[in-house]
Amino acid sequence: MSSLRKVLVIGSGGREHALSLRLLESESVGEVLLSPGNAGTHTAPPDLAHKILRNATGSPLEVAAREQPDLVIVGPEAPLCDGLVDQLSAAGFLAFGPSAAAARLEGSKAFMKDFALRHGIATARHVTVDSAASLERALAEFDAAPVVKADGLCAGKGVVVADSHDVAREAALGMLSGASFGAAGARVVLEERLRGAEASIHAISDGERIFVLPAAQDHKRIGDGDRGPNTGGMGTYAPAPLITPELAERVTRQILLPAIHGMAADGTPFRGALFAGLMVSDAGEPGLLEFNVRFGDPETQVLMNLIDGDFAEALIQAARGKLDPALLTLSKNSAVCVVLAAAGYPATPRAGDPIEGLDVAARMPNVRVFHAGTRLDAGRVLTAGGRVLGVTARGSSLAEAHQRAYQATEAIRFAGMQFRRDIAARALA
Ligand code: AMP
Ligand code: GLY
């Protein structure tokens, strides 16, 4: 085992659990550590029991110093924007993820919009506002109510899709005053509202080359039929038929590659996972809504089912700036992830409910149950967050993956469990 690699994953969500198991499946990997991890990441699943999966406590730099991993992967956006990859690199560790300078693509909406304009990447028309005094003039530049975005990171809550100028004004004033998001709202981007259907495309990059993953669709609202409040994402499927091969090629040529080449030209090469959030108009035109500088959650839960090849080796090459994109290939499978959320989510998720049926679901073929908000208490798994589990299945068709994911969902129970019954329904219709 000693020549096999040890990989450290920073984070505690379903995304990190999915990344960890996909890394553990890589031929070159013998051990994956998660820090801090969750109740699902203490041990490897039965089919990977010949390898080691475990949690590690301490700050990321402490854990890295103690464990001496061959590769560190930083999952969430906040530590990326705070420069964790720069710090790990300075301490001599190989880390996959963008530098703080490159993470501004997600960390500042105003930066992202200026970057896109500078490098000819089409996005919605926008105006950046940094004071209440200049808000009225900016609002007047939009005939229809603009979308209002806090400049900085707001854990996915910083966007208001306003139905009127009054709603947009109120949202922008709340942000600019600091009342809504503190310093993250000190600048506000107003932008033209795009219409259509949303999808995302991820690319793994070494700063120059990219490996493009299949398009995925998330379901952001809590309720069936896209009703109710927004969440971190209630389920995903991939590949999304909305993104035809021609459209994916256009997104690669007109959005992903110009972004990677633009970041390199600006002296801040982007090494990591670049996630382009897209709006596809009824006429089939793709518009860029946002860049994220990391794998999506719960997009990763499905995407990890669709890549063949030594994933760990590819991330190592990307982190070193020397990715051979031919190392990875796309499988012909489809995957569906159904998120099981806690009672009260998204407003006030309840914690401490015991979860049953995990053992049954774990024995189902082609199913993985990724943990997010869970914790172990005297051998029992309890809910410990809003999004609790991501029940994920693969199949040779979307219909097969869908059927398996919902079958596994039926095996799991906890008090107040919420999930959507229409994940992937639109694509199957
Ligand atoms: P973002 O964090 O920029 O992706 O925004 C979060 C969500 O707000 C997106 O997934 C869209 O649903 C919505 N959104 C953002 N920008 C726009 C826009 N220009 N037009 C319509 N909806 C938008
Ligand atoms: N699922 C959306 C995100 O990760 O930002």
User: pLDDT tens string for the chain (429 positions)?
Assistant: 458 999 999 999 999 999 999 999 999 999 999 999 999 999 999 999 999 999 999 999 999 999 999 999 999 999 999 999 999 999 999 999 999 999 999 999 999 999 999 999 999 999 999 999 999 999 999 999 999 999 999 988 899 999 999 999 999 999 999 999 999 999 999 999 999 999 999 999 999 999 999 999 999 999 999 999 999 999 999 999 999 999 999 999 999 999 999 999 999 999 999 999 999 999 999 999 999 999 999 999 999 999 999 999 999 999 999 999 999 999 999 999 999 999 999 999 999 999 999 999 999 999 999 999 999 999 999 999 999 999 999 999 999 999 999 999 999 999 999 999 999 999 999
Q: Cα–Cα distance between 371 and 377 in angstroms, integer?
A: 15
Q: Tokens for 120, please give them.
A: 């000819």
67 CB near ligand 2 (under 6 Å): no
Q: Cα–Cα distance between 41 and 33 in angstroms, integer?
A: 8
Q: Cα–Cα distance between 289 and 207 in angstroms, integer?
A: 22
Q: Tokens for 183, please give them.
A: 């310093």
Contact 154, 184 (CB under 8 A): yes
Q: Cα–Cα distance between 212 and 248 in angstroms, integer?
A: 9
Q: Tokens for 377, please give them.
A: 């208490």
Q: Return the CATH architecture of domain 5-98.
A: 3-Layer(aba) Sandwich (3.40)
Give the residue from 384, 350, 374 showing the smallest Cα distance to 42.
374
Cα of 125 vs centre of ligand 1, distance in Å, is 13
Q: Is 271 exposed, middle or buried (0-12, 13-18, 19+ CB in 10 A)?
A: buried
290 CB near ligand 1 (under 6 Å): yes
Ligand 2 nearest-atom number relative to CA 294:
4
Ligand 2: which residue has its CA nearest to atom 5? 296
Q: Cα–Cα distance between 230 and 194 in angstroms, integer?
A: 18
290 CB near ligand 2 (under 6 Å): no
Sorted by sequence, the CB contacts under 8 Å of residue 226 that are 6+ apart come out as 219, 220
Ligand located closest to 277 CA: 1
Cα of 10 vs centre of ligand 1, distance in Å, is 27
At the topology level, CATH places domain 126-191 in Dna Ligase; domain 1 (3.30.1490)
Ligand 1 nearest-atom number relative to CA 195:
21
11 CB near ligand 2 (under 6 Å): no
Sorted by sequence, the CB contacts under 8 Å of residue 309 that are 6+ apart come out as 327, 328, 329
CA 342 to chain centre: 20
154 CB near ligand 1 (under 6 Å): no
Give the tens place of pLDDT for each residue, 187-204. Answer: 999 999 999 999 999 999
> Using CA of residue 216, residue 221, residue 222, residue 224, what is the dihedral sign?
negative
297 CB near ligand 2 (under 6 Å): yes
**Which stretch of DSSP H or E encloses residue 315?**
helix 311-320
How much of the chain is helix, strand and coil, in % rounded to 5? Answer: 30, 30, 40
The DSSP 8-state label assigned to residue 427 in this structure reads H
Rounded to 10 degrees, the C-alpha dihedral 102/106/110/111 comes to: 10
Q: Cα–Cα distance between 152 and 115 in angstroms, integer?
A: 15
Cα of 198 vs centre of ligand 1, distance in Å, is 9
E-strand ranges in 3-104 read: 5-11, 29-36, 52-55, 71-74, 95-96
| The model's pTM | 0.97
Q: Tokens for 427, please give them.
A: 């694509």
Ligand 2 nearest-atom number relative to CA 297:
4
Cα of 299 vs centre of ligand 2, distance in Å, is 7
Cα of 159 vs centre of ligand 1, distance in Å, is 7
Q: Domain segments of the chain: what residues?
A: 5-98, 126-191
Ligand located closest to 123 CA: 1
CA 46 to chain centre: 26
Cα of 232 vs centre of ligand 2, distance in Å, is 6
Determine the length of the chain: 429
